[in-house]
A and B are shown apart, each in its own frame.
Chain A
Amino acid sequence: MTTTATRPVGAQARASISARTLRTDRWWIAPLITVIGLSAWIAYATVRVYMHKWFFVEDYHYLTPFYSPCLTDRCGEAAEFGTFLPSWWIIPEAALTLPFLLLFRLTCYYYRKAYYRSFWLSPPACAVPDGHKTYSGETRFPLIFQNAHRYAFYAAGIISVINTWDAIKAFHSPEGFGFGLGNLILILNVVMLWAYTLSCHSCRHIAGGRLKHFSRHPVRYRFWTFVSKLNTRHMQLAWITLATLAITDFYIMAVSAGWFGDVRFIN
């Protein structure tokens, strides 16, 4: 660890290589897929959130996660926590929670990597030049707020509880207890949402990552080990939950709109 690794000291020029990158593989595929995937999902979600209909199947109490908790007077029976929000079209039914969910995903360590690489091209791929002249990372406004991820995680935890409540309430039919394909989808979605939320890097830190001595906190160590295992799949879970959210929502929309009926196993 010395400054004398080099002689003469004056040499500062990098190797003059004209090609911006010499990578020969198709490095642009990954960012391209990310752009397409995320854009498509955002488009779908925006359209759905502002449809203000087909979000609830009354017979079976299926409520799409995009509208949960439903808080405007358009909600009807779907409202579990009151309907105190005004029903102006610009206000989504789940206006209290959607911003936090958005924030959770926006500040998520995986999504950050994904959109920095794809939308922001900083950098598009390893050893491929940055698309920008200057760079200050996450040291300044607004990106310094990425550090708030932890608080978004807390919110996401609460919202996951609400989603779980929705999934439990959905074991319903006009005759009382009921169970159909919609339930399976809702449950799968909730399980995946939990997996994604718990696999969060902030959660890993809070669970035990912040400790200096695991040996003095055996229970937290076990929790940390569990979260760490999930955490290695954070990227997969991020994409899987986008898919399960969209599928759940689409299924409920379709059943609600009457395009097809729910497949019922019990009642």
Chain B
Amino acid sequence: MGEKRQFKVWRGDETGGDLQDYQVEVNEGEVVLDIIHRLQATEAPDLACRWNCKAGKCGSCSMEINGMPRLGCMTRMSTFSEDETITVTPLRTFPVIRDLVTDVSFNYEKARETPAFAPPADLAPGEYRMQQIDVERSQEFRKCIECFLCQNTCHVVRDHDENKKAFSGPRTFIRAAELDMHPLDAREDRKTYAQQHQGLGYCNITKCCSEVCPEHIKITDNAIIPMKERVVDRKYDPLVWLGSKIFRRHPDDDQLVQSGSSHAVSAGPAMTGVDLPDAHERTEEQEVERGVNWHRRVGPAQLPAVGANGRLGVSEAAFDRSGAASPFGDDVEFPMPPRDLNYAHPDQD
């Protein structure tokens, strides 16, 4: 049986909280997450803490241990001396939810804004050919387990919350680098995107992200600096700069604008049921121009979702959209595409 050790764990939520003292038994070969689990099973069953694999593979149990951002499952108790008090706190950079759990949606939002892999147009599945040496660089970044320790430790957002808007953080930089180095990625604007929309320039390469990475990804040396250099190629190379001044265009910007603009589509998604091919949409537009053909055959209307008594349910108050539930069913969007309209026109016999 192990001996008792001193712990301080931050308990609380967004309204406040403090470090609470615990004395917990520690056995040989245990990690900090084991101790948190022991606390949950004994003194504090409602102690909130994220975890999944307990093997350093999923990146859920990110926390700050003695002030350093770390994975709870990867911090061995044997690395502390026996009389040391171990302080466990939630990630500081993100809003706290409760105890050790923080709201990490910042990272998911930033990831969602980063343009996805663009498959080459001329290759079918199964035709991809890539050399191992070409994929290795990107593979390093794909080791990322999304623990967000790098995002948490990066002082750009940790100490300056106002930068969260402009700065996406190391995790998204390695994603940008991964795609820019992907041998078959069809987009060319990754560098410009990183510089203009992810805030690559905010990074002052103080390397804390690399220091805390549990996967030992060389974030700064292999992703951020190469991306900065690639931006220099485009942006700060005097010849390119001169060229863009003379010809009044920037080689990369075109694509960005294009991807940002959206083509107008009127058909609601759930209503039409299928992704319409372009040809079909054109005929639909033409149909609108000609006026609706009231003599076409239309299917029966989809019935509204009513209860057994034939009325709409009223039991639930809250709703994810503003306003009450639509009597047409919430899957129907307006204006309805003409080919889905199904009332009979007076002229129709």
> In the complex, A touching B, CB below 8 Å?
yes
Cross-chain contact B87 with A22 (CB below 8 angstroms): yes
* Contact residues in B for A214 (Cβ distance below 8 Å): 131, 133-134
Q: Which residues of A contact B231 (CB under 8 A)?
A: 147
Contact in complex: B226, A17 (CB < 8 Å): no
CB nearest to B80 among chain A residues: A24
Query: Are B89 and A123 interface neighbours, CB within 8 A?
Result: no
- Are B206 and A138 in contact (CB-based, < 8 A)? no
Measured between beta carbons, the chain A residues less than 8 angstroms from B229 are 150, 201-202, 205, 209-210
Q: Contacts A15-B90, A205-B229 given; indicate if A138 touches B68 (C-beta within 8 A).
A: no
Interface string of B62-105 (1 = CB under 8 A from A): 00101111000000000000001001011011111100001111
Q: Is the CB of B87 within 8 A of A137?
A: no
- Verify if B112 is at the interface (C-beta below 8 Å from A): yes
Q: In this assembly, does A96 line the interface, its C-beta being within 8 Å of a C-beta of chain B?
A: no
Q: In the complex, are the beta carbons of A136 and B202 less than 8 A apart?
A: yes
Q: Which of B156, B159, B232 contacts A147 (CB 8 A)?
A: B232
| Given A23-B66, A138-B204, A147-B231, also A14-B134 (CB < 8 A) | no
Candidate in A14, A134, A201 with the most chain B CB atoms within 10 angstroms: A14
| Residue from B108, B155, B183 whose CB has the most chain A CB atoms within 10 Å | B155
Contact B67–A23 (Cβ < 8 Å):
yes
Asked if residues A147 and B228 are in contact (CB atoms below 8 Å), the reply is yes
Residues of chain A with a CB closer than 8 A to B133's CB? 214-215, 221
CA distance A5 to B158 in the complex (A): 20
Q: Which residue of A lies closest to B86 (CB)?
A: A24
Q: How many A-B residue pairs have CB under 8 A?
A: 177
B203, CB-defined interface residue at 8 Å: yes
Q: Are A112 and B66 in contact (CB under 8 A)?
A: no
- Output the least CB separation between A89 and chain B (Å): 35
A22, B86: Cα distance in complex, Å: 10
Q: Which of A47-55, A71-79, A124-132 lies on the face that meets chain B?
A: A124-132
Show 9 residue pairs from A and B whose CB-CB distance is below 8 angstroms, ordered by the A residue.
A14-B94, A22-B87, A24-B67, A116-B205, A116-B206, A122-B206, A126-B153, A135-B202, A149-B232
Say yes or no: is B6 at the interface (Cβ < 8 Å to chain A): no
Establish whether residues A3 and B105, one from each chain, have CB atoms under 8 Å apart when the complex forms.
Answer: yes
B14 at the interface (CB under 8 A from A): yes
Given the complex of chains A and B, what is the CA–CA distance between A134 and B19 in angstroms?
29
User: In residues 8-41 of chain B, which contact A (Cβ within 8 Å)?
Assistant: 10, 12-19
Any chain A CB within 8 A of the CB of B304?
no
Stretch at the interface among B207-215, B261-269, B325-333, B336-344: B207-215
CB of B183, distance to nearest CB on chain A (Å): 6
Kindly provide the distance from the CB of B57 to the nearest chain A CB, expressed in whole angstroms. 19
Q: Is the CB of A134 within 8 A of B89?
A: no
- What's the Cα separation between A4 and B263 when bound, in Å? 27
Q: For residue A129, which residues in chain B have a CB less than 8 angstroms away from its CB?
A: 155, 158-159
Check: B111 CB closer than 8 A to any chain A CB. Answer: yes
The 3 A-B residue pairs with the shortest CB-CB distance, nearest first, are A22-B67, A137-B202, A23-B67
Please give me the residue from chain A that is nearest to B92 by CB atom: A14
Partner of B108, one of A3, A13, A125: A3
Question: Are B17 and A16 in contact, CB atoms less than 8 angstroms apart?
Answer: yes
CB within 8 Å for A16 and B230 given contacts A22-B87, A113-B206, A201-B225: no
A3 x B109 contact (CB < 8 A): yes
1/0 contact trace for A93-119 toward B, CB 8 Å? 000000000000000010011001100
> Which residues of A have CB within 8 Å of B108?
1-3, 5
Contact indicator B230/A205 (Cβ below 8 Å)? yes
Which residues of A lie under 8 Å from residue B144 when comparing CB positions? none
Which A residues touch B202, using CB under 8 A? Answer: 135-139
Q: Which of B93, B97, B204, B228 contacts A116 (CB 8 A)?
A: B204
Q: Are A213 and B183 in contact (CB under 8 A)?
A: yes
Q: Mark A213-231, 1 if CB is under 8 A from B, else 0.
A: 1110000010000000001
Is there a chain A Cβ closer than 8 Å to B287's Cβ?
no
